[in-house]
């Protein structure tokens, strides 16, 4: 019997972030050659290195040590996250980046963390459990009091933090939706976040009388914030048209630029017209240093405080953001957040300013790329010249292929999902480039969220999975756990 795939609009994923702004005087007295040598050794541009020294108030040696510790932490997390499995409860760097902690729910896993040279912390809730608590809050965001500006997973306290201004009936809201109170911490907040858009002249792009900031160039234009413009709206300087936009719920968009505008893999550092290069979009660890570029306040740096946060603007709730302590102001909306040379996100909104400090939220860039099937412009790399691997995934009804950067995620079929009207067996097969670690997950829509129901998540580039399931909506998630390049997959469904 012939079967076909039913395509429906893709459902957005969740991730969050906050940022509090800190501004320090520039660090003086550093010799240019010393900074250049240290930056080269650390694998970042001198411009990024200097900005980190300025905003984190560190000397050359301090920045070098911090970046080395961050690189070591990322490798440890990459290695342990998978092997710890459901016991994994998140990881973070200390404020001075000298201690890297990995939270786990069992003593056996704590020993594994110690053996890897990291500091373990025994906690009650796994990251999977905390994400589930936050997912329930997201699903009921319309019921939240207006005085509750958002929430996020705080792995450092093993809780989901719910922000509440004075007078908010937070307890009533949590009871109404049946939230797991044992995993929630209510935090008094003065935040009153608004999308960072303003009518001010500057180095940016314009939508009628409004101004926003370019996020990251992609092969057909650039990505930015969703609240900057609706699908079909036109832009100037550069000229183009919004090819897609989502806000609230998400806060992302992309602009398809007109002929004559050339996207380049660069971010404006706002100092002597210098730029920094973008080499990829691997997610940085919580606690890692990041810098932001925007057309109102220029270039500012800080650290990531959390991921997987939600914030409620007057227009509605946005989920899946990055929380950091990098400042921003109106007009910076859509601007770039970068860790070293890795793209992280685009500026959404927040509270405060770059004089007194505040909180800023960033929409992760990988979600934007995945939502619209866009390709990030990067420097120092070229697209794979060889076709996707095809061996080993034969005998399946459907095939798909694509290309991912390390840490990237894609959803198949075609950034959407398929519907099975009867019960039966779902089979999937994935082949990534040689020497990489690509994983495959089968997800089913529960009515409020996508839930993993089967996985192929070994340390190789070849994965298969089989799942016997009831009728419903399903999709495959392809994850480039480590390594980059083209992949191919095959799948069959009831």
- Asked whether residue 288 is domain-assigned, the answer is yes
pLDDT at 343 over 60: yes
- Asked whether residue 249 is domain-assigned, the answer is yes
Q: What is the mean pLDDT of residues 294-305?
A: 93
Q: What is the mean pLDDT of residues 434-457?
A: 90
Q: What share of the chain in percent tops pLDDT 90?
A: 56
- Asked whether residue 16 is domain-assigned, the answer is no
Predicted confidence at residue 384, as pLDDT, reads 41
Is residue 362 located within the same domain as residue 317?
Answer: yes
Tens of pLDDT along 213-234? 999 988 898 999 999 999 999 9
Predicted confidence at residue 76, as pLDDT, reads 86
CATH code of 311's domain: 2.40.10.10
Q: Which residue has the higher pLDDT, 281 or 66?
A: 66
Is residue 300 located within the same domain as residue 233?
Answer: yes
Is residue 481 located within the same domain as residue 364?
Answer: no
pTM of the model: 0.68
Q: Where among 372, 406, 431 does a domain terminate?
A: 372
Closest by Cα among 152, 160, 247, 241 to 205: 241
Is residue 356 located within the same domain as residue 408?
Answer: no
pLDDT at 7 over 70: no
Q: Which residue has the higher pLDDT, 392 or 479?
A: 479
Q: Where among 372, 388, 411 does a domain terminate?
A: 372
Active-site annotation holder among 55, 251, 332, 437? 251
Tens of pLDDT along 189-205? 988 887 665 433 336 89
pLDDT at 299 over 50: yes
Question: What torsion, rounded to 10 degrees, do the Cα atoms 43, 47, 52, 57 define?
Answer: 130
Predicted confidence at residue 361, as pLDDT, reads 97
Q: Which of 53-67, 69-83, 145-159, 283-297 has the lowest mean pLDDT?
A: 69-83
Q: What is the mean pLDDT of the chain?
A: 85
Residue 388: band (very low, low, confident or very high) from pLDDT cuts 50, 70, 90: very low
CB neighbour list of residue 489: distance below 8 Å, 6 or more residues apart: 393, 399, 400, 401, 412, 428, 429, 430, 431, 440, 476, 478
Is residue 308 located within the same domain as residue 446?
Answer: no
Closest by Cα among 468, 346, 342 to 407: 342
Q: What is the mean pLDDT of residues 111-118?
A: 92
> Catalytic: 251?
yes
Q: What is the mean pLDDT of residues 105-121?
A: 93
Range of 44-48, 319-323, 424-428 with top mean pLDDT: 319-323
CATH code of 464's domain: 2.60.120.380
Predicted confidence at residue 383, as pLDDT, reads 41
Predicted confidence at residue 427, as pLDDT, reads 92
- Asked whether residue 126 is domain-assigned, the answer is no
pLDDT at 23 over 60: no
Predicted confidence at residue 439, as pLDDT, reads 93
- Asked whether residue 314 is domain-assigned, the answer is yes
Predicted confidence at residue 86, as pLDDT, reads 92
Residue 4: band (very low, low, confident or very high) from pLDDT cuts 50, 70, 90: very low
Is residue 332 located within the same domain as residue 457?
Answer: no
Is residue 402 located within the same domain as residue 467?
Answer: yes
Predicted confidence at residue 198, as pLDDT, reads 42
> Catalytic: 180?
no
Q: Which of 61-65, 357-361, 373-377, 388-392 has the lowest mean pLDDT?
A: 388-392
Active-site annotation holder among 55, 138, 213, 227? 227
- Asked whether residue 199 is domain-assigned, the answer is yes
Tens of pLDDT along 166-192? 989 999 999 999 999 999 999 999 888
Is residue 203 located within the same domain as residue 332?
Answer: yes
Is residue 201 located within the same domain as residue 350?
Answer: yes
Q: What share of the chain in percent tops pLDDT 70?
A: 88
Show the domain range for 442: 398-492
Is residue 420 located within the same domain as residue 320?
Answer: no
- Asked whether residue 185 is domain-assigned, the answer is no
> Catalytic: 479?
no
Predicted confidence at residue 197, as pLDDT, reads 53
Predicted confidence at residue 134, as pLDDT, reads 95
Q: Where among 303, 337, 372 does a domain terminate?
A: 372
| Total domains in the fold of the chain | 2
Active-site annotation holder among 245, 333, 336, 420? 333
- Asked whether residue 290 is domain-assigned, the answer is yes
Predicted confidence at residue 272, as pLDDT, reads 63
Is residue 479 located within the same domain as residue 354?
Answer: no
Is residue 410 located within the same domain as residue 472?
Answer: yes
Predicted confidence at residue 33, as pLDDT, reads 59
């Amino acid at each position: 019997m012939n079967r076909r795939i039913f395509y429906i609009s893709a459902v957005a994923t969740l991730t969050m972030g906050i940022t509090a702004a800190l501004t320090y005087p520039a660090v003086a007295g550093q010799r240019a050659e010393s900074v250049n040598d240290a930056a080269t050794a650390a694998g970042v541009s001198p411009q990024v290195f200097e900005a980190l020294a300025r905003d984190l108030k560190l000397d050359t040696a301090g920045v070098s040590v911090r970046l080395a510790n961050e690189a070591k932490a990322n490798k440890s997390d990459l290695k342990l996250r998978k092997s710890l499995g459901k016991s994994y409860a998140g990881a973070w760097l200390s404020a001075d980046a000298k201690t890297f902690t990995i939270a786990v729910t069992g003593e056996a896993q704590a020993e594994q963390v110690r053996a890897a040279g990291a500091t373990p912390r025994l906690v009650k809730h796994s990251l999977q459990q905390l994400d589930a608590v936050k997912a329930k809050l997201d699903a009921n965001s319309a019921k939240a009091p207006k005085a509750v500006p958002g929430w996020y997973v705080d792995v450092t306290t093993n809780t989901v933090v719910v922000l509440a201004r004075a007078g908010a009936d937070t307890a009533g809201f949590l009871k109404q939706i049946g939230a797991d109170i044992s995993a929630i911490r209510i935090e008094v907040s003065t935040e009153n976040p608004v999308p960072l858009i303003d009518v001010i002249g500057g180095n940016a792009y314009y939508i009628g009388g409004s101004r926003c900031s370019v996020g990251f160039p992609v092969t057909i234009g650039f990505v930015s914030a969703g609240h900057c413009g609706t699908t079909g709206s036109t832009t100037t300087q550069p000229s183009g048209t919004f090819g897609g936009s989502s806000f609230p719920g998400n806060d992302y968009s992309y602009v398809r630029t007109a002929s004559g505008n050339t996207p380049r893999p660069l971010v404006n550092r706002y100092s002597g017209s210098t730029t920094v290069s973008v080499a990829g979009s691997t997610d940085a660890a919580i606690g890692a240093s990041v810098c932001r570029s925007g057309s109102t306040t220029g270039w500012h740096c800080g650290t990531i405080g959390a991921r997987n946060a939600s914030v409620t603007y007057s227009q509605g709730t946005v989920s899946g953001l990055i929380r950091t302590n990098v400042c921003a102001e109106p007009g910076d909306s859509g601007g770039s957040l970068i860790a070293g040379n890795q793209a992280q996100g685009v500026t959404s909104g927040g509270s405060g300013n770059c004089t007194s400090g505040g909180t800023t939220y960033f929409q992760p860039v990988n979600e934007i790329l995945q939502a619209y099937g866009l390709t990030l412009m990067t420097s120092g790399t070229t697209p794979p010249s060889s076709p996707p691997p095809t061996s080993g995934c034969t005998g399946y009804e459907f095939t798909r292929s694509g290309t991912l950067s390390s840490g990237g995620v894609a959803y198949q079929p075609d950034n959407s999902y398929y519907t099975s009207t009867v019960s039966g067996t779902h089979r999937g097969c994935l082949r990534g480039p040689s020497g990489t670690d690509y994983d495959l997950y089968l997800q089913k829509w529960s009515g409020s969220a996508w839930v993993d129901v089967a996985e192929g998540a070994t340390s190789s580039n070849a994965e298969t999975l089989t799942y016997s399931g009831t009728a419903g909506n399903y999709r495959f998630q392809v994850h480039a756990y480590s390594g980059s390049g083209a992949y191919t997959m095959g799948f069959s469904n009831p």
